[in-house]
Structure 1
């Protein structure tokens, strides 16, 4: 009986916390629901919407090509915002894929850089890649 009361109290606390962090309108709708019921209902309501958003962000990320004459920093920052959004949507990918997507989105002016980058086979972070691309951009001007 003690275990049941503890679990009942824990479940009630979780449900209260869930309702408390919702918008007032949504919170009023879920008053009286158990946390499991709330979670199930929210998943049913918002799963399709999240899937559609993931699709649109992935598509935008892949379709986002650097424009001729665009500074590399603004392009990298825009791509980074897409990557950050994907992470928030629980789209998991490793840093190597992130860098490959970034390199693929650059204009043909960076072809020699990409060849050298891949030949050197260096492990870099996205910020290190950004610095390398900026240095290359300065050298091309």
Structure 2
């Protein structure tokens, strides 16, 4: 009868152990949440595994806890590994709470956000500081309303053409003949 009971409940215990270990290995602390609640929950998972006969050494349990911490504890983890190797889980909890208080005093570091996508706004000209502007290549090549031909020629002063098209301006071949 005892043998039958073991066979029946052994499968359930294995499933519970699997679910508990999965929860422990995948448990991550979210940024800004209290470290005390996180570590106590992880310690609960570790104690549950010990009840199923799957005990973790303190060093491995400490590694699981340290790996589950968010990026704000990035400075704490190497310092702990270098200086405090043999600490119990309650001692680790105390150290993490102290580190959390220190992080709140210092405050978050400013973050530069870069957004990928199209530029907003009408103007794409960028000022260089010397009065000149630089535009995108395609916009610089397209005239807005066409070329106006009613301006005065700077060479002869007549309207309808510009200096480069002026019939009174000698061409280069004429200039070389005159010399």
Higher relative contact order (CA 8 A, sep 6+): 1
Which residue number corresponds to residue 99 of structure 1?
Answer: 62
Cα distance in 2 for residues equivalent to 1:132 and 1:73: 10
Unpaired runs of at least 5, structure 1: 1-36
Which residue number corresponds to residue 119 of structure 1?
Answer: 82
Cα distance in 2 for residues equivalent to 1:108 and 1:88: 32
Which residue number corresponds to residue 20 of structure 2?
Answer: 57
Q: Which runs of 4+ in 1 moved over 3 A?
A: none
TM-score by length of 1: 0.71
Cα distance in 2 for residues equivalent to 1:112 and 1:77: 21
8 Å Cα contact 2:36/2:97 also seen in 1: yes
- Give runs of aligned pairs for residues 1-141 of structure 1, distance below 5 A: 37-38=1-2, 40-141=3-104
User: Which of the pair has more CA radius of gyration?
Assistant: 2
What count of residue pairs does the alignment treat as equivalent? 104
Cα distance in 1 for residues equivalent to 2:85 and 2:44: 24
Deviations 1:28-64 (CA, angstroms, capped at 9, x unpaired): xxxxxxxxx41x1111101111111100000001111
Cα deviation, residue 121, structure 1: 4.5
SS in 2 for 1:93: coil
Unpaired runs of at least 5, structure 2: 105-179
8 Å Cα contact 2:46/2:55 also seen in 1: no
